[in-house]
């Protein structure tokens, strides 16, 4: 197979891996409530998994200083005073993986007070690893062709 | 693609030959550096509101790792203010013509230190304390002062820029990754250098100083140790020095042949994989361990950090290349094939920094108006709200950087590999590392 044809096939495969729509299993949306404990400089629990369409309620409880919780991608936030709780409710209508982070300066490691919300499957991660795997296949084939 | 000589353009050439444009930039940088020190030492202890943290670890870092290093190689070193006071003291002059009489001890750096092991160690020291360094203004201020005085001290004791060449923790990795940059300083005609009397580019002359980086341009084949200070352009009597545009990673066709440089590649590769887990991951225990310097958990963190960099990553790499046989010794193949990690390592840093910088860039506006956190509002932006930037394109941009890095490294492995041996183990190694980075970042 010529080099150009191989390259074309790899690029096309890459486009399919990156952008082809995946079959979606219909899941009935649910109401999900999480109580998140916020303290310098971590959330507990720090990883949340919900399904697309779920109505998510986060009760943020701060146990030391004022903390916030801002969800990347959703651009929503809530703040809780020490010893108090605050509630954030939203519909998880964007699938993927999103960091949530403290948006109230709470101490030295504040910029790194981070948690992770996964809505459905983290398909972009799998697509990205798929693209990397295609690179390996392409490079391995080119090595074998040269040999 | 051939080289395009930028110095053929008389405007560029004159701007580089003249000391004044560089001096103007130096002075701005030095003022900024000293202000960062002051802000760190006397400004607010709140890192995200202090000029030293925001401008050093967000603004400068973003420019360095996303623009300067990938596109200009050691371009930062060309304008870095850290060696200036020491160099002015060493020369006894700022701009006046060189006086060859040594002002200070002017010793040659001992041979055992003429490598980048000290730079490897200095980078690792900062890396182990990075959670504190990145977030605590007075620690940043102290480190900036220490670097300034280390540069001054070494300039007084040793000849040329010993600090930049052998100790600077930043210069070490800039040198490593400058090999990938599409810009280089090289001679035009080797024969001219062979017959040149006195070698003023290295030894200095009435019009300029000998290479501050202790490099003879006539023998230079890689960007690694050229600080782009432009002194040789000024001193060459034959107009034989050029700044060229060239293809990316042109230097990587010549594989690394030194263990200190090979380990630099692993140190940077490993640190770029550890930071996303520690700083950007959801694991609070890991952050606590990294931040609480001196505690038992920090010592465990430091031991694991060093073990990953010096044992796990090089160990798996060595096991991989042992599966292929070649004429070269295992050590030679280890050094040579470690060159393949350079592009991917750079892209790891780009992907990590995109996340860190885009999330925190909005602090820059507030810190500009109130650099010391004292309630000023110089430009009316002191109360600018924190807001992550470009979060929707972050994940695709990181994937793009990592996949491009993987392709780049795989091609580099093929270029530097000894004929007749397989590069597949190195490619698989890079794939596994890339997958881990993707998992940590996405």
Contact B407 A139 (CB under 8 A): yes
Residues in a beta bridge with A80 = A67
Question: Parallel, antiparallel, or unpaired for β A47-50 and A114-119?
Answer: parallel
Q: What is the pLDDT of residues B112-169, one digit of tens each?
A: 999 999 999 999 999 999 999 999 999 999 999 999 999 999 999 999 999 999 999 9
In this prediction, residues A93-102 reach a mean pLDDT of 95
What's the token pair of residue B414?
A: 């093929």
Among candidates B271, B35, B70, B53, which has minimal Cα distance to B176?
B70
CB contact (8 A) between residue A112 and residue B279: yes
A vs B, Cβ pairs < 8 A, gives 117
Tell me if B366 sits within 8 A of B382, measured CB to CB. yes
Chain B's closest residue to A38, CA to CA, is B284
Mutant choice from A99, A132, A145 vs B, greatest count of B C-beta within 10 A? A132
- Asked if residue B25 lies in contact with residue B262, where contact means CB atoms within 8 angstroms, the answer is no
Nearest to A139 among B399, B402, B427 (CB): B427
Contact check, Cβ <8 Å, B48/A135: no
Window 1-40 of A: residues touching B by CB (8 A cutoff) are none
ipTM field: 0.93
Q: Is A129 on the interface with B (CB under 8 A)?
A: yes
Verify whether the Cβ–Cβ distance A105 to B424 is below 8 Å.
Answer: no
- Tell me the C-alpha to C-alpha distance, in Å, between residue B58 and each of A57, B62, B91: 33, 6, 34
pLDDT reported for residue B369: 94
Q: What's the alpha-carbon Rg for chain B, to the nearest Å?
A: 22
Using CA atoms, how far residue B181 sits from B151, B184, B217, B411, in Å, is 26, 8, 18, 16
User: Residue B309: its pLDDT value, please?
Assistant: 97
pLDDT tens for B53-68 read 999 999 999 999 999 9
For B289, name the nearest residue in chain A, comparing CA atoms only.
A41
In sequence order, the β-bridge partners of residue A56 are: A32, A90
Q: Is A129 close to B403, i.e. CB distance below 8 A?
A: no
Check CB contact of A115 with chain B, cutoff 8 Å: yes
Nearest beta carbon to residue B428 from set A113, A127, A136: A136
Cα–Cα distance for residue pair B378/B371, rounded to 1 Å: 9
Residue A103 contacts residue B421 (beta carbons within 8 Å): no
Mean of the pLDDT values across residues B26-41?
Answer: 97
| Minimum distance, in Å, between the CA of residue B281 and any CA atom of chain A | 7
- Give residue B417's pLDDT: 83
Residues of A within 8 A of B386 (CB-CB) are: 103
Phi and psi angles of residue A60, each rounded to the nearest 5 degrees, phi first: -90, 120
Tens-digit pLDDT profile for residues A20-66: 988 877 889 999 999 999 999 999 999 999 999 999 999 999 999 99
Mutate to test the interface with A, among B62, B274, B281, B284 (most CBs of A within 10 A): B284
Contact yes or no for B131 and A142 at CB 8 A: no
Measured distance CA(A14)–CA(B120) in Å, rounded: 38
The residues spanned by each domain of chain B are 1-254, 255-441
pLDDT range class, residue B256, cuts 50, 70, 90: confident
Question: Coil, strand or helix: which one is B169?
Answer: helix
- The domains of chain A, with CATH numbers, are 30-146 (2.60.40.420)
Q: Quick one: tokens of B381?
A: 């932006």
């Amino acid at each position: 197979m010529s080099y150009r044809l191989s390259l074309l096939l790899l690029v096309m495969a890459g486009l399919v891996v990156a952008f082809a729509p995946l079959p979606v299993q219909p899941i009935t949306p649910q109401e999900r409530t999480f109580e998140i404990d916020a303290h310098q400089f971590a959330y507990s629990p720090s990883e949340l998994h919900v399904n697309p369409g779920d109505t998510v309620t986060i009760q943020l409880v701060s146990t030391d200083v004022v903390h916030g919780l801002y969800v990347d991608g959703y651009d929503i936030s809530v703040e809780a005073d020490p010893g108090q709780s605050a509630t954030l409710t939203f519909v998880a209508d964007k699938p993927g993986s999103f960091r949530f982070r403290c948006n109230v300066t709470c101490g030295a490691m504040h910029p790194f007070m981070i948690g992770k919300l996964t809505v459905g499957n983290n398909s972009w991660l799998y697509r990205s690893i798929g693209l990397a795997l295609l690179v390996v296949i392409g490079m391995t084939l080119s090595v074998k062709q040269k040999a | 693609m051939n080289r395009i000589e930028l110095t053929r353009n008389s405007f560029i050439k004159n701007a580089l030959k003249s000391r004044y444009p560089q001096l103007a930039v130096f002075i701005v940088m030095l003022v900024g550096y000293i202000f960062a020190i002051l802000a760190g030492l006397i400004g607010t202890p709140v890192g995200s509101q202090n000029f030293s943290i925001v401008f050093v670890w967000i603004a400068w870092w973003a420019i360095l790792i996303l623009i300067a290093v990938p596109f200009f190689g050691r371009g930062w070193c060309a304008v870095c203010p850290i060696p200036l006071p020491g160099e002015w003291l060493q020369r006894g002059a700022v701009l006046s013509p060189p006086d060859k009489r040594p002002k200070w001890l002017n010793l040659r750096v001992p041979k055992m230190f003429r490598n980048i092991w000290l730079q490897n160690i200095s980078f690792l020291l900062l890396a182990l304390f990075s959670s504190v360094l990145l977030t605590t203004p007075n620690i940043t201020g102290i480190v900036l002062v220490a670097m300034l005085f280390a540069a001054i001290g070494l300039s007084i004791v040793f000849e040329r820029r010993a600090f930049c060449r052998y100790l600077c923790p930043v210069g070490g990795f800039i040198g490593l990754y400058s090999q990938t940059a599409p810009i280089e300083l090289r001679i035009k005609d080797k024969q001219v250098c062979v017959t040149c009397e006195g070698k003023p580019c290295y030894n200095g002359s009435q019009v300029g100083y000998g290479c501050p980086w202790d490099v003879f341009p006539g023998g230079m084949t890689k960007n690694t140790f050229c600080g782009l200070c432009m002194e040789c352009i000024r001193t060459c009597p034959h107009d034989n020095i050029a700044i060229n545009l060239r293809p990316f990673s042109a230097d990587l066709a010549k594989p690394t042949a030194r263990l200190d440089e090979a380990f630099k590649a692993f140190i940077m590769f490993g640190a770029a994989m550890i930071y996303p887990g520690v700083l950007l991951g959801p694991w609070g225990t890991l952050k606590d361990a990294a931040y609480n310097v001196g505690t038992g958990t920090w010592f465990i963190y430091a031991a694991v950090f060093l073990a990953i960099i010096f044992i796990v990553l090089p160990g798996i790499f060595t096991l991989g290349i042992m599966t292929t046989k070649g004429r070269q010794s295992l050590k030679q193949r280890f050094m040579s094939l470690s060159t393949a990690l350079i592009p991917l390592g750079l892209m790891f840093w780009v992907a990590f920094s995109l996340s860190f910088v885009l999330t925190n860039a909005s602090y820059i506006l507030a810190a500009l108006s109130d650099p010391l956190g004292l309630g000023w509002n110089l430009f009316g932006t002191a109360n600018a709200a924190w807001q992550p930037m470009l979060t929707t394109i972050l994940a695709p941009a990181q994937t793009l950087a990592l996949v491009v890095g993987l392709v780049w490294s795989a091609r580099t492995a093929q270029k530097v590999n000894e004929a007749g041996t397989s590069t597949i183990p190195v490619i698989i190694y890079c794939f596994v590392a890339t997958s881990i980075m993707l998992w940590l970042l996405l």
